[in-house]
Amino acid sequence: MVIKPLSYFVEICKTNLMKQLLYLILILPLLAMTPPNKEAKQRKVVEAYVHTLLNTDEEILNIYENEDIQQIFPSFKLTRTYTKKEIDEIKESLLYIKQILQGHRYKILNFKEADKKLKTEGGAVASDRGDVYYIYDKDLKGVFFQAAVVVDDDNKIISIAIGMCFNPKRLCFLYL
């Protein structure tokens, strides 16, 4: 008894309109049930980084060695040993970001979102090594571009903005 209605259903699906309707009803909901995408995972990494930064005492952020960086920020993908000058730049940059964002509401922006908001300043800076994420300060209503980070496909932070460079004037990144 089940076979007859099933065969009838198959005959109905032979028409183009019914195929399209079947596709819309049965297949599209399955496509919507995909696992979280790459961007959502990367946003979580950036959110964890900012949360750790804002909730870490300034004394702990006084980084002296490469191992200290990795212990405080496990999401950083360190690829080399840093000089004292570079560690000081990292420390200075992190303390500045913490000072600016402390007590403010913020939102993580991907490259496209930040580029729309930064059109008047020349647009957002892209990276060929990963996806750039910016922090939008909801209280100051502006993109805090000096807090930008680059996240790779392994969901690790591979670069942080360390301030402005001159000749030409642009945002400088330190690749970790």
Q: How many CA atoms lie within 13 A of 130 on its CB side?
A: 24
pLDDT score, position 16: 63
Which H or E run includes 153? none
Q: Where are the domains of the chain?
A: 3-32, 38-175
CA-to-CA distance for 85 and 169, rounded, in angstroms? 21
Contact by Cβ (8 Å): 172, 165: yes
Adjacency order of strands within the sheet including 106-109: 106-109, 131-137, 142-151, 157-165, 170-175
* Residue 164 β-bridge partners: 171
DSSP state of 119: G
| Angle subtended at Cα 106 by Cα 101 and Cα 108, rounded to the nearest 5 degrees | 115
What helix, strand, coil percent values describe the chain, rounded to 5? 45, 20, 35
Return the exposure string of 117-139: e unless at least 16 CB atoms fall within 10 Å of the residue's CB, then b.
Answer: bbeeeeebbebeebbbbbbbbee
Instruction: State the pLDDT at residue 44.
Output: 92
Tens digit of pLDDT at every position of the chain (176 positions): 455 555 665 565 566 666 666 666 776 676 666 556 888 899 999 999 888 888 888 777 776 676 777 788 888 888 888 888 888 888 888 888 888 888 889 899 888 888 888 877 777 788 888 899 988 888 888 887 788 899 998 899 888 887 777 766 677 777 88
Nearest to 159 by CA among 65, 37, 38, 73: 73
CA distance 132 to 119: 16
